[in-house]
Structure 1
Amino acid sequence: MKLSHLLPLATLALPLALTSCSKDNDSAGSSKLEVRLMDAPGDYQSVVLDVQQIEVHLKDEAIADGWQLLPFKAQAINVLDYVNGKSALLVNTDFAPGDLKEIRLLLGPDSYVIGRDGQRYDLKTPSGQSSGVKLKLDKATLRERETFQLLLDFDVAKSIVERGNWKPGNERKERYVLKPVVRVVAQAVKGGLRGTVTPAAALPHVLAIRSSITVPDTFSTAADASGAFQLSSLPSGTYKVQFFPSATAPTNQPAYKAVTRTGIIVTNDQVTDLGQTSLN
């Protein structure tokens, strides 16, 4: 399921979180929520957003306590670092299944641009810092044991507006106003890993550790009676996969050993087949 909205925003507050949460992939009753940021290029050296907070709403907007704060670490983010397919992972957390109706973004007062002239210009954010900016979501549904991603596609060229009456020599902080244009892409993340572990008598456990993010995220499962395993709804990225025997080898047979495989690539909407892994 995919959904796109193009939202020109007259005010702003962008809440972004660079916090990761690790849980077993097959935790009953839980799903995972990711929020990512990417950008379309603009004619500036840097565009830095003072990101403070991000919240989502699962209930009717009229219900005052319907907003839920997501795990978050406030920081300045240069959105021009995330162009041409790159994205910043802002939130990665366990979340209760259900419908998301809105996402609310909050910015602090210290956003700025560095122009082609090398000068720093503060970004004005009219009224957005206090009330935030709400982005509507349509049919964004989190399901048990699935990962759901909200991709915030920030359009720098359309979002930064130069005041018509500004002239060189005026105060630099008065030159630009931030009126964000953000496209929100909501989608289920359906990457996966599968394979077979031998011998099946080792009763192997499997850990998939996403090592391509600042705080590694871990997913786990156990092989079945035939040694087969599959991990579903994995976020895309590079993984280290670890195999651990939970049983002891029979007498007069070599001991089972733990095995680690690195550099495993997981891609959205594809299942990566690891083939056979031996614990002998």
Structure 2
Amino acid sequence: MRKQFLNFKTLFLLVFTGLALTSCSDDDDSAGAEGNARISVRMVDAPGDYDAVNIDVEAVRVQTGVEEDENEGWVTLDTEAGIYNLLELTGGVSQLLADEEIAPGYAGQIRLVLGNDNTIVVNGEEFPLATPSAQQSGLKLNINEELEPGEEYLYILDFDVDESIVNQGNGGYTLKPVIRLSVEDDAGKIVGKVHPSEFRSLVTATNASNRISAYTNASGEFAL
């Protein structure tokens, strides 16, 4: 009986130790997940007087851990690469470009890297859209924010199409992006609905330093 009791006691200690180790491991894993910051990037559009503006998104990159050197510390996020018509991103519609956990710390810039398949459609005719700077190093947008562990950050890239397209006068068009970067927590939003909704309406809000616009969608709804 004594021998059986000792074996049971030993087994109990082994099981208890195993549970303790498993618990510690789970706690460590949980702490590791909570130790990261989650960053998401979405794209919306301020309207322009074109049939379509198609942007070839290749990558979204974030500079982390470096406050002064613009050439170091870049992380490429898990990007929803593709060609997006900016004019479809109105009336509260947005496109998710990236969503990923990264190490916490200082974040300096976001870069939106574009490919070669950028086009614009004017009066039913499609033209190539030249974007030299965006293809080489990416469109640079300043964040200058400390990312905290366990927090989520949603950055919104608001293209102003009307200000971003340059008509070269020889039948060509160039993209010189004008983008307003905002953080969801800091960004106010104006939403509404225009009646009648049969016609596409342009809604504009202005203050002393900014002007933002959006077209209504098929239901007459808009979001600024």
Place the TM-score, normalised by the shorter chain, in its bin. Answer: 0.5 to 0.7
CA displacement at 1:26 relative to structure 2:
9.4
Secondary structure (helix, strand or coil) at the match of 1:62 reads coil
| Structure 2 residue ranges without an equivalent (≥5) | 1-29, 187-224
Alignment partner of 1:178 out of 175, 178, 200:
175
Alignment deviations for residues 134-191 of structure 1 (CA, whole Å, 9 cap, x no partner): 11123x2322222101100000000011113x2xxxxxxx5211010000002449xx
Secondary structure (helix, strand or coil) at the match of 1:60 reads coil
CA displacement at 1:101 relative to structure 2:
0.7
User: Which residue of structure 2 aligns with residue 84 of structure 1?
Assistant: 91
Q: Would you tell me which structure has more helix in proportion to its own residues?
A: 2
Change (3 A) 1:64 1:42: closer
Secondary structure (helix, strand or coil) at the match of 1:158 reads helix
Residue 101 (str. 1) matches residue 108 (str. 2): yes
Secondary structure (helix, strand or coil) at the match of 2:67 reads coil
User: Which residue of structure 2 aligns with residue 28 of structure 1?
Assistant: 34
Alignment partner of 1:75 out of 60, 77, 82:
82
Conserved? CA contact 1:111–1:123, under 8 Å: yes
Residue 154 (str. 1) matches residue 159 (str. 2): yes
User: Which residue of structure 1 aligns with residue 140 of structure 2?
Assistant: 134
Secondary structure (helix, strand or coil) at the match of 1:127 reads helix
Query: In the alignment, residue 85 of structure 1 is paired with which amino acid?
Result: G
Change (3 A) 1:73 1:91: closer
Number of residue pairs matched?
157
Taking the aligned partners of 2:60 and 2:133, their CA distance within structure 1 comes to 17
Counterparts of residues 4-43 of structure 1 (less than 5 Å): 27-43=33-49
Taking the aligned partners of 1:102 and 1:175, their CA distance within structure 2 comes to 31
Alignment partner of 1:144 out of 149, 174, 178:
149
Query: In the alignment, residue 53 of structure 2 is paired with which amino acid?
Result: V
Change (3 A) 1:105 1:63: closer
TM superposition score normalised by structure 1: 0.52
Secondary structure (helix, strand or coil) at the match of 1:27 reads helix
Query: In the alignment, residue 152 of structure 1 is paired with which amino acid?
Result: L
Taking the aligned partners of 2:87 and 2:168, their CA distance within structure 1 comes to 22
Larger radius of gyration: 2
Conserved? CA contact 1:25–1:145, under 8 Å: no
Residue 125 (str. 1) matches residue 131 (str. 2): yes
Secondary structure (helix, strand or coil) at the match of 1:184 reads strand
TM superposition score normalised by structure 2: 0.64
Secondary structure (helix, strand or coil) at the match of 1:129 reads helix
| Structure 1 residue ranges without an equivalent (≥5) | 1-23, 167-173, 190-280
Taking the aligned partners of 1:160 and 1:71, their CA distance within structure 2 comes to 28
CA displacement at 1:126 relative to structure 2:
2.8
- Over the aligned positions, Cα root-mean-square deviation in angstroms equals 2.4
Change (3 A) 1:146 1:60: closer
